[in-house]
Chain A
Amino acid sequence: MDPDTALYVIHDRSGRLIAFPTREEAEACVISEADDPTVQERSFAWLLENAPKALVRIYYQYYWAEELA
């Protein structure tokens, strides 16, 4: 994945980051009970540096961010 790729990130109930390739997908999955129930745009490079084990949902499955580097 290109480091500049924009990803749309939400938090799950434990605070873990879940990233999606589109804002639409991220918004559909926002958890209103999460500590941070917002969608944030982050680059793939940011995710890799700050949360390499964050889950990235592409191609109908979850990868760890570091697996897409």
Chain B
Amino acid sequence: MKQNVIVIMNDSLRRDHINAYHVPPPWKRPGHEDEPFIRTPSLDALAEEAMRFDRAYIASYPTIPNRTDLYTGRYGFAYRGWQPLEPKDVILPELAGAHGYTTALFFDTPPLGAGNYNFMRGFDAWRWIRGQHGDRYITDPRVPTPIDADRHKIRSWEGTQRYLRNQANREYEKDYLAPRTITAAMEWLEKNYMQDGFLLWIDTWDPHEPFDPPPHYLTLYDKPDYQGQHIIFPQYGRADYMTPEELDHVRALYAGEVTMVDTWVGYLLDTVKRLGLLDNTLIIHMSDHGHLFGDHGLEGKPGGQLGTLFEPTTRIPLMIRHPGGTGAGQCIEPIVQPPDILPTILDFLDVPIPNTVQGRSLWPLVNGEVDRLHECAFSGRYPLGTMYSYTATSFDGWAGPDRITEPLTVTTEEWAFICAPGSWPSHLYKLDQDPNQDRNVIDVYPHAAASLHERLIEFLEAMGAPADRVEKFR
């Protein structure tokens, strides 16, 4: 009998918003000081049976580049940006399918299916739950789209209206998008649990903005007497266009979305258990990046000169539950990255890993055969070309001028080196002493910065970055 794999991707889920990571709360919640900072009982329960990777860092950023890394096992940001899958890409669903696994994808993450992006490619079955933000779905002009906020505070007024129009028929929690996506996956499981080996990929846009949770989740986190604006899709960049109270409200909206997602991940895991799949199914839970809520004075996923990738964005949750109990409840400290996921899955399924893959299987690390897989994590995004910039901007807030080259981040257990292109200043943070990255110590530790800089150049060259891209970081 073949085994199964379920991948649960929750977009924009910050690591410090899952209790199981035991991260100090990044801010206070007025009116809720004596309550849990975040409620994630389902993911906490999963963590007790899973390996929790404590230094999982993004490679390519944000959504589409991340999924490309996951599908291909490659570090795309070295040489490609936000773009459709290319015909020559060797991708996970096709590899699994070619070895007899039934593959299915359920998603509401709109760019995966938009235009010619074709991230359904290779799956035997897929279903796009329609209606997220940016999804060209409902055009009925009679649907009211009230936005209770000043226009300059909303990232995309028309996009938010479109989202509200898409959501007009929503009534109960089950009608929200993450619940609908996960429900579709649960229904698929009920019909397919007996398949001889399957790969099920569930991709929810939540807790990505618009931050629009059911009210009963918002009240867990919102200041009880809040009467201010309802900024569900906050503008990116400098965060002080919002009042402190508005920022607290946005943070509460996000936390409400996280708890909603957690609830439905719990229902999914209950279904997996009910169908008897826990003993033959690998379960992977992860996100693709974080989202800033006033961290470093910034909101969202800013770009350009504000595009430094700090820890709240780069350090992501990753949990893997092995059906045989391998590593259950353990915290895995060494650095891992999304390109490692594909070889890890293929290794588990006993499918040969193609030579196109740049990541490394996690199993030798988990099994103690090696101490670490990577000395450094490399994170960044490739500058956009104008061909794809509209799609990237409208779906995932790709802020910043087209083609601008943004800083790249090199992370070790001790350091985060922000390597800026051209004449912009680079930064160095000593993470073991300064986890919030408040003090740039590049002048104190120039040799450490030089060493990390050298590794970045070696990495870019090894991963196939064009010479002109490498040159910008020399």
The answer to whether A60 touches B399 (Cβ under 8 A) is: yes
Q: Which of B287-309 contact A (CB under 8 A)?
A: 300, 302-306
- A10 CB contact (under 8 Å) in B152, B237, B240, B401: B152
Q: Which of A31-56 contact B (CB under 8 A)?
A: 31, 53, 55
The answer to whether A57 touches B400 (Cβ under 8 A) is: no
Q: Mark B389-403, 1 if CB is under 8 A from A, else 0.
A: 000010001111100
- Take A12-B241, A55-B238, A55-B241 as given contacts and tell me if A61 and B304 are in contact as well, using a CB distance cutoff of 8 Å: yes
The answer to whether A59 touches B150 (Cβ under 8 A) is: no
CB of B314 closer than 8 Å to a CB of A: no
| Size of B's binding interface in residues, CB under 8 A | 24
Q: How far is the CA of A34 from the CA of B112 in the complex (A)?
A: 41
The answer to whether B300 touches A55 (Cβ under 8 A) is: no
Q: Report the nearest A residue to B155, measured CB to CB.
A: A60
- CB neighbours (8 Å) of A18 from chain B are 152, 241
Binding site for A on B (CB under 8 A): 150-152, 155, 157, 235-238, 240-241, 243, 300, 302-306, 393, 397-401
The answer to whether B393 touches A60 (Cβ under 8 A) is: yes
Binding site for B on A (CB under 8 A): 10, 12-14, 16, 18, 28-29, 31, 53, 55, 57, 59-64, 67
- CB neighbours (8 Å) of A31 from chain B are 150, 152
Of A16, A18, A31, A62, chain B has the most CB atoms within 10 Å of the CB of A62
The answer to whether A59 touches B303 (Cβ under 8 A) is: yes
- CB neighbours (8 Å) of B398 from chain A are 60
- CB neighbours (8 Å) of B241 from chain A are 12, 16, 18, 55, 62
- Take A10-B152, A13-B150, A31-B150 as given contacts and tell me if A59 and B401 are in contact as well, using a CB distance cutoff of 8 Å: yes
How many residue pairs link A and B with beta carbons under 8 A? The number is 60
- Take A18-B241, A55-B240, A67-B305 as given contacts and tell me if A61 and B150 are in contact as well, using a CB distance cutoff of 8 Å: no
The answer to whether B305 touches A60 (Cβ under 8 A) is: no
- A63 CB contact (under 8 Å) in B152, B237, B300, B397: B237
Q: How far is the CA of A64 from the CA of B240 in the complex (A)?
A: 10
- CB neighbours (8 Å) of B151 from chain A are 28-29
Q: Report the nearest A residue to B305, measured CB to CB.
A: A67
- B152 CB contact (under 8 Å) in A29, A61, A67: A29
The answer to whether A60 touches B400 (Cβ under 8 A) is: yes
- CB neighbours (8 Å) of B305 from chain A are 63, 67
The answer to whether A61 touches B399 (Cβ under 8 A) is: yes
Shortest C-beta distance, B355 to chain A (Å), equals 39
The answer to whether A61 touches B302 (Cβ under 8 A) is: yes
Beyond A18-B152, A31-B150: 18 further Cβ-contacts under 8 Å?
A10-B152, A12-B241, A28-B151, A29-B151, A59-B400, A60-B303, A60-B398, A61-B235, A61-B236, A61-B237, A61-B238, A61-B302, A61-B399, A62-B238, A63-B305, A63-B306, A64-B238, A67-B305
Q: How far is the CA of A22 from the CA of B398 in the complex (A)?
A: 20
- CB neighbours (8 Å) of A57 from chain B are 152, 235, 237
- CB neighbours (8 Å) of B237 from chain A are 57, 61-63
The answer to whether B397 touches A60 (Cβ under 8 A) is: yes
Q: How far is the CA of A62 from the CA of B155 in the complex (A)?
A: 10
The answer to whether A61 touches B400 (Cβ under 8 A) is: yes
Q: How far is the CA of A59 from the CA of B238 in the complex (A)?
A: 13
The answer to whether A12 touches B150 (Cβ under 8 A) is: yes
Shortest C-beta distance, A60 to chain B (Å), equals 4
Shortest C-beta distance, A54 to chain B (Å), equals 10
- CB neighbours (8 Å) of B155 from chain A are 60
- CB neighbours (8 Å) of A14 from chain B are 243
- CB neighbours (8 Å) of A60 from chain B are 155, 236, 303, 393, 397-400
Shortest C-beta distance, A61 to chain B (Å), equals 3
Shortest C-beta distance, B390 to chain A (Å), equals 11
Q: Report the nearest A residue to B400, measured CB to CB.
A: A59
Q: How far is the CA of A61 from the CA of B300 in the complex (A)?
A: 9
Q: Report the nearest A residue to B297, measured CB to CB.
A: A64
Shortest C-beta distance, B395 to chain A (Å), equals 12
